[in-house]
Amino acid sequence: MPLQIREATAEDAAECGRICHDAFAAIAERHGFPPDFPSVDAATGALSGLIAHPGFYGVVAEDGGRIIGSNFLDERSMIFGLGPITVDPAAQDHRVGLALMNAMLDRSADLRTPGVRLLQSAYHNRSMSLYAKLGFDVREPFATMQGAPLAHQLPGYHVRAATDADVEVCDALCRRVHGHDRSGEVRDAIMQGTARVVERLGRITGYTTGLGFMAHSVAETNDDLYALIGAAESFDGPGFLVPMRNTDLVRWCLANGLRVVHMMNLMTTGLYQEPRGAFLASVLY
């Protein structure tokens, strides 16, 4: 039977989670890096959440009725984030990844999103080549930072939990830095209790949806980011993503005992504005 691409369902989560863990672990171990998901259960939990979330669209690839891969699209904002895409190690190099990518790019075109973005592990040459062939441009490298919480407070910078009343200001900050907002992600993070804002001189000057792999941050200055990072109780997943162009922020993280886990590349297609402020990416963009 030819390869079939269909929408993911809750019943697919266990097999998709196993494949997701195995695929990431295989390529990471081959290059001497820790896997993005520490266990099958962790990967299954993450993909279960994406399948159940109305703001995400997921597909699976089937060969003879057997699931051999999956891919996801974050549709919560005007710019879509793509991933994770994974293919069973036993089924790789048979154009399954290409089919999964084309399914998402076709959907993005149908929904008329102005841009699609992803972050790609820099050591994974095959995925880099695939995305480049499909029209994605490399924009900049990111360092995944991890370590013990800093418990660091900046005088004059107050970090507190974000509320629904802060969404408009957070959206305005994101539009100023990136040219678009990420309101859907901000609202989700507020509901989940992970969103934080930093206030300086009585006004909000930065926000984060959480310090970790699946979260992003936007701020007016590096000092605002220092305050948000310093107040974090943990750095979720492999870590948080720092743009290497921000050399002061990179050195500040290293000076405070954080370490680089691995490097990633931001790749985009469609609308893109060079950032005009301080920020941290999520693994989706």
- How many residues are listed for the chain in this entry? 285
Residues 153 and 266 grouped into a single domain: yes
The pLDDT value given to residue 1: 62
Q: 147: closest CA among 213, 210, 236?
A: 236
- Of all residues in the chain, the percent with pLDDT exceeding 70 is 100
Q: What's the Cα-to-Cα distance from 200 to each of 154, 196, 211, 217, rounded to whole Å?
A: 10, 13, 20, 16
Residues 84 and 164 grouped into a single domain: no
Is 141 domain-assigned?
no
Is 106 domain-assigned?
yes
Residues 105 and 150 grouped into a single domain: no
Q: What's the Cα-to-Cα distance from 129 to each of 22, 53, 132, 136, 140, rounded to whole Å?
A: 21, 30, 5, 10, 16
Look up residue 166 and give its DSSP letter: G
Is 133 domain-assigned?
no
Query: What radius of gyration, in Å, describes the C-alpha atoms of the chain?
Result: 19
Residues 36 and 101 grouped into a single domain: yes
Is 130 domain-assigned?
no
Output the CA torsion 107→215→52→9 (10° steps): 50
Look up residue 98 and give its DSSP letter: H
Residues 150 and 256 grouped into a single domain: yes
Output the CA torsion 234→240→246→248 (10° steps): 20
Distance CA 2, CA 11 (A): 22
Domain boundary among the residues 113, 130, 165 is at 113
Domain boundary among the residues 61, 88, 113 is at 113
Residues 175 and 90 grouped into a single domain: no
Is 140 domain-assigned?
no
Is 227 domain-assigned?
yes
112 three-class SS = coil
Residues 41 and 165 grouped into a single domain: no
Is 285 domain-assigned?
no
CA 151 to chain centre: 24
Which residue type occupies 268? Answer: T
**What residue numbers bound the domain in which 152 lies?**
146-280
Could you list the mean pLDDT of each consecutive 10-residue stretch along the chain, which spans 285 residues? Answer: 92 98 95 94 98 98 96 97 96 90 98 98 95 97 98 96 98 97 98 98 97 98 98 97 98 98 98 96 97
Residues 188 and 256 grouped into a single domain: yes
Distance CA 127, CA 135 (A): 13
Residues 150 and 239 grouped into a single domain: yes
Tokens of 43: 């990967």
Residues 272 and 210 grouped into a single domain: yes
Is 21 domain-assigned?
yes
pTM, whole model, 2 decimals?
0.94
Domain count for the chain, please give it.
2
* CATH number of the domain encompassing residue 92: 3.40.630.30
